[in-house]
Every structure is written in structure tokens, then in C-alpha cells.
């Protein structure tokens, strides 16, 4: 039973961690090598794509999507999509994918004269699912070794942990002050009822025993 309990909570916390890892912003130091636009036919992986740009029709099963192709300092390639999030989830309220595409195109560089940028994004890259992280911002940096401190994530997760701790403390306090006394009272009533039943059972048995010793007429 304990294994099932720990497995259940382990799965719950894994889902929560995956949700925040996908949703919270991340920053990659990359060199932009190309930008392009490609028509995408959405299928079973449509949940990992944003909606059409704000003001455009969302009824189509396919549409053009901006992409930003990059290369990291170690040489591996990373491709990002560039879509508006609009007023939906996650709440980045991104409405300027066209402007971001122009900024990214202006930062294109070669390996001989690299221009490194900090590209802010959310989401995952999966070749199996054909999904891409969504770029939400780009800015030039001095080099590939620059350190970016994720202040937003640190503050957000700290406040979230404080909120969870405060709620947990209040729940435990409410249980200790209100629920546990009721359970104890119910247990005492149950014990008293059990003792009463036992006394009556013994009394009935004693009454039967008195009849066993009487002679028949």
C-alpha cells in the first residue's frame, strides 16, 4: 500500500514539474543561422502549437508558421517556432511574432563572424512529436559564455512554494483543531457503544445461564 501511495504522489509531482518546465521561460545562448516561414498541417500534436496570429482565422487546419534556426556554442542545432500566444495559455500575451521574426533575421551571423543572442522561449523540442519551443524574445549578448540568471523563475517558484507552504500549514492546523477532535469524539462514542453492547450481551448470557440451572416441572 505504501508503494502505491508513493508512486501516486511521485507521478503527481512529476506532472507538475513537467508542466512548469514546459510553461516557464527559458533562455538559450545561440547563434541565429536562418529564419524562414513554413506551412504546417496540424495533426495530433496540435496541442503543442499556438493559435493563429491575433485577428486571423483559427478555423483552418493549416497555416504558415515562422521558424528561427540556430546553432549553439557546442555546435548542435536548435529550431524554434515563432507564434503569437495571444490572450491564451501560457500567458505571455505575445502579439508581435512578425516583429520578433524581423529582429531575429537582423541577428543572422556566420561561424566566421558569430553574433550571439539570448533567445527566450518556452516549450520543448521533440523530433519524434515534431514540436518546437516557441520563441518569445531575442537580444544580443557579448558571447556564448555569458551567464543568464532566471530571476523570474526564481521569484515565481519561491512565491509558489511559500503559497503552498502557507496553505498546507493552514490545512494541517484546521485538521488538528477541528477535524481530529471530532474524530476522537466519534471514536469515544463508538467505544462507549461497543462497551454497552458487550455489557448487554453478557447480561443476556447470564440470564440464559440462570435458566439452565432451574429444574423442569
pLDDT band, very low/low/confident/very high, at 175 (cuts 50, 70, 90): confident
Per-residue pLDDT at 187: 63
| 109, 115 contact by CB (below 8 A) | yes
| 12, 18 contact by CB (below 8 A) | no
pLDDT band, very low/low/confident/very high, at 57 (cuts 50, 70, 90): low
The residue extents of the domains of the chain are: 25-148, 149-217
Q: How far apart are CA 192 and CA 186, in angstroms?
A: 10
| 85, 120 contact by CB (below 8 A) | no
Q: 3-state class of 163 per DSSP?
A: helix
Average the pLDDT over 94-121 and give the result.
95
Of 162, 167, 117, 174, residue with least CA distance to 143? 117
25-148 placed in CATH 1.10.10 = no
Q: How far apart are CA 130 and CA 157, in angstroms?
A: 29
Sequence-ordered strand ranges (E) for 42-105: 62-72, 77-82
**pLDDT tens, residue by residue, 116-160:** 999 999 999 999 989 999 999 999 999 999 999 999 999 999 999
Of 125, 117, 140, residue with least CA distance to 21? 125
Q: How far apart are CA 114 and CA 31, in angstroms?
A: 7
Q: How far apart are CA 200 and CA 206, in angstroms?
A: 10
Per-residue pLDDT at 178: 77
Average the pLDDT over 9-33 and give the result.
95
Q: Number of C-alpha atoms within 13 angstroms, CB side, residue 149?
A: 3
58-67, 103-112, 167-176: range with lowest mean pLDDT: 58-67
pTM confidence score: 0.76
Amino acid at each position: 500500500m505504501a508503494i502505491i501511495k508513493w508512486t501516486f504522489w511521485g507521478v503527481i509531482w512529476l506532472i507538475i514539474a513537467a508542466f512548469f518546465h514546459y510553461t516557464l521561460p527559458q533562455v538559450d545562448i545561440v547563434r541565429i543561422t536562418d529564419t524562414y516561414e513554413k506551412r504546417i498541417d496540424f495533426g495530433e500534436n496540435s496541442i503543442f502549437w499556438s493559435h493563429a496570429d491575433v485577428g486571423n482565422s483559427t478555423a483552418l487546419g493549416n497555416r504558415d508558421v515562422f521558424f528561427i534556426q540556430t546553432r549553439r556554442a557546442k555546435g548542435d542545432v536548435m529550431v524554434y517556432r515563432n507564434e503569437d500566444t495571444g490572450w491564451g495559455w501560457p500567458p505571455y500575451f505575445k502579439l508581435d511574432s512578425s516583429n520578433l521574426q524581423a529582429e531575429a533575421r537582423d541577428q543572422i551571423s556566420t561561424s566566421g563572424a558569430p553574433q550571439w543572442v539570448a533567445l527566450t522561449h518556452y516549450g520543448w523540442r521533440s523530433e519524434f512529436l515534431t514540436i518546437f519551443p516557441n520563441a518569445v524574445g531575442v537580444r544580443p549578448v557579448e558571447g556564448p559564455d555569458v551567464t543568464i540568471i532566471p530571476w523570474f523563475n526564481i521569484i515565481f517558484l519561491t512565491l509558489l512554494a511559500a503559497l503552498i507552504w502557507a496553505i498546507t500549514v493552514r490545512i494541517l492546523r484546521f485538521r488538528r483543531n477541528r477535524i481530529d477532535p471530532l474524530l476522537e469524539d466519534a471514536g469515544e462514542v463508538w467505544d462507549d457503544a461497543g462497551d454497552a453492547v458487550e455489557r448487554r450481551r453478557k447480561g443476556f448470557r447470564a440470564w440464559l445461564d440462570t435458566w439452565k440451572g432451574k429444574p423442569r416441572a
